[in-house]
């Protein structure tokens, strides 16, 4: 396995801690042991567990040492909205991981991408072939896929410089104080649960825009602008202002009125300049079936 370090969410982090976050199902203790046994290389050199990772470091470790099976192409139905030689736009369904974990190796978006496309960018390693940004397991909607390395490098730069306009739909609990506004906080990994995120003064800057499309007091339907791309950003921000996304079990979005097994959140719009041709591109999709269903139930339409 080859991992190219992206420290957008990490600062002054040791390699054993970085790998424990990246390889979520493996303990920091086990990973430290592999590092001490020189089974983890950084830029082709052995290091110590206290090594501080740097942007664009190349980390190499053998999957056999972790007893992880290699990722395979799988014939999974994929909604491909657009495709050219360098990029594709896909509509990711609910209930699909963007990329494999050390335990879940099948039925991810990357498995599907490897089957449907002859070439995929490897700028983020084989485990994240074609992936330049993510959607959560239970978030559906539009994603940009890098098919060439040239596009992959350019898209990473574009996301870093906030040159991709991303819009979402969500149904949240309660009535917001204002019809539209901006949420700005720092976000970091939760100290209580490393798989979740939280608002924190030591985190990375995050900015979300919102506009209320409709409300009945108990619930509101929002249009959201994702200005930065922190992990779980929209879910954390909306929970922070006491209006969690309906169905979001991790961030307080469960109610007795509705039994929903996922957050009602959809990435519905992408606008950006093509990373190679510079042509301005814009993609939108209709409401997902779950958001449409609960929209009609909640707002009686």
Structure tokens at 103: 């335990």
Q: Where are the domains of the chain?
A: 2-65, 69-161, 167-267+291-299
For the chain, 301 residues long, give each residue's pLDDT as a single digit of tens. Answer: 666 666 554 457 888 888 887 777 677 888 888 899 988 899 999 999 899 988 778 888 876 777 677 899 999 999 999 999 999 999 999 999 999 987 789 999 999 999 999 999 999 888 899 999 999 999 999 999 999 999 999 999 999 999 999 999 999 999 999 999 999 999 998 878 878 999 998 889 999 999 999 999 999 999 999 999 999 999 999 999 999 999 999 999 999 999 999 999 999 999 999 999 999 999 999 999 999 999 999 998 6
Would you state the pLDDT for residue 274? 99
Burial of 153 (0-12, 13-18, 19+ CB in 10 A): middle
Lookup result for tokens 């990373």: 275
Would you state the pLDDT for residue 176? 98
Mention every residue, 6+ apart, whose C-beta is less than 8 A from residue 247: 138, 253, 254, 258, 260, 261, 262, 263, 264
Dump strand ranges (E) for the chain: 2-4, 40-42, 45-46, 58-61, 79-83, 87-92, 140-146, 165-173, 180-189, 197-199, 204-215, 219-226, 265-273, 280-284
Distances (CA, A) of 30 to 2, 23, 165, 195, 296: 18, 11, 40, 18, 50
- Alpha-carbon distance of 257 to 141, in angstroms, equals 26
CA atoms within a 13 Å half-sphere pointing along the CA-CB vector of 164: 21
Is there a contact between 165 and 269 (Cβ–Cβ < 8 Å)?
A: yes
CATH of 69-161, one of 2.40.180.10, 3.30.2290.10, 3.30.1330.20, 3.30.2350.10: 3.30.2350.10
Q: What is the fold, at CATH topology level, of the domain defined by 2-65?
A: 3.10.290
Mention every residue, 6+ apart, whose C-beta is less than 8 A from residue 192: none
Question: Which DSSP string do the residues of 105-153 spell out, in sequence order?
Answer: -SSSHHHHHHHH-S----TT-GGGTTBSS---TT-EEEEEEE-SHHHHH
Would you state the pLDDT for residue 14? 87
- Alpha-carbon distance of 154 to 87, in angstroms, equals 11
pTM of full prediction above 0.75 = yes
Would you state the pLDDT for residue 267? 99
Spatial CA neighbour of 294 closest among 236, 178, 214, 197: 214
Is there a contact between 170 and 227 (Cβ–Cβ < 8 Å)?
A: no
The domain over range 167-267+291-299 is classified in CATH as 3.40.50.300: no
Spatial CA neighbour of 184 closest among 201, 163, 171, 172: 201
From first CA to last CA, the distance across the chain in angstroms is: 50
Would you state the pLDDT for residue 192? 84
Strand arrangement, sheet containing 58-61? 2-4, 58-61, 40-42, 45-46
Would you state the pLDDT for residue 11? 59
Would you state the pLDDT for residue 125? 86
What residues are labeled active site? 136
- Fold agreement (69-161, 167-267+291-299): yes
Work out the angle at residue 185's Cα, subtended by the Cα atoms of residues 265 and 89, and round it to the nearest 5 degrees. Answer: 35
Phi, psi (degrees; rounded to nearest 5) at 249: -65, -35
Is there a contact between 301 and 293 (Cβ–Cβ < 8 Å)?
A: no
């Amino acid at each position: 396995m080859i991992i190219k370090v992206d420290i957008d969410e990490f600062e002054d982090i040791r390699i054993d801690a970085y790998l424990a976050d990246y390889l979520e199902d493996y303990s920091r203790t086990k990973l430290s042991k592999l590092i001490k046994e020189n089974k983890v290389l950084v830029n082709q050199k052995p290091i110590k567990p206290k090594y501080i990772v740097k942007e664009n470091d190349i980390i190499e470790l053998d999957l056999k040492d972790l007893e992880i099976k290699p990722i395979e192409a799988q014939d999974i139905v994929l909604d491909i909205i657009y495709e050219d030689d360098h990029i594709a736009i896909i509509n990711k369904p609910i209930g699909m991981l963007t990329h494999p974990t050390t335990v879940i190796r099948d039925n991810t978006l990357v498995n599907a991408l490897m089957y449907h496309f002859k070439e995929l960018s490897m700028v983020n390693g084989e485990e994240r072939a074609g992936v330049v940004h993510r959607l959560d397991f239970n978030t559906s909607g539009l994603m940009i896929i890098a098919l060439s390395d040239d596009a992959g490098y350019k898209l990473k730069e574009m996301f870093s410089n906030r040159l991709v306009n991303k819009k979402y739909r969500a149904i949240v609990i309660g009535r917001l104080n204002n019809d539209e506004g901006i949420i700005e906080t720092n976000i970091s990994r939760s100290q209580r649960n490393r798989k979740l995120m939280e608002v924190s003064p030591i985190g990375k800057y995050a900015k979300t825009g919102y506009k209320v499309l409709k409300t009945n007091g108990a619930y509101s339907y929002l249009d959201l602008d994702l200005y930065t791309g922190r992990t779980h950003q929209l879910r954390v921000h909306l929970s922070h202002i006491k209006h969690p996304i309906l169905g979001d079990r991790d961030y307080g979005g469960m109610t007795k009125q509705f039994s929903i097994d996922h957050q009602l959140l959809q990435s519905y719009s992408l606008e950006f300049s093509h990373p190679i041709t510079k042509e301005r591109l814009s993609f939108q999709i209709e409401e997902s079936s779950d958001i449409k269903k609960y929209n009609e139930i909640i707002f009686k339409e």
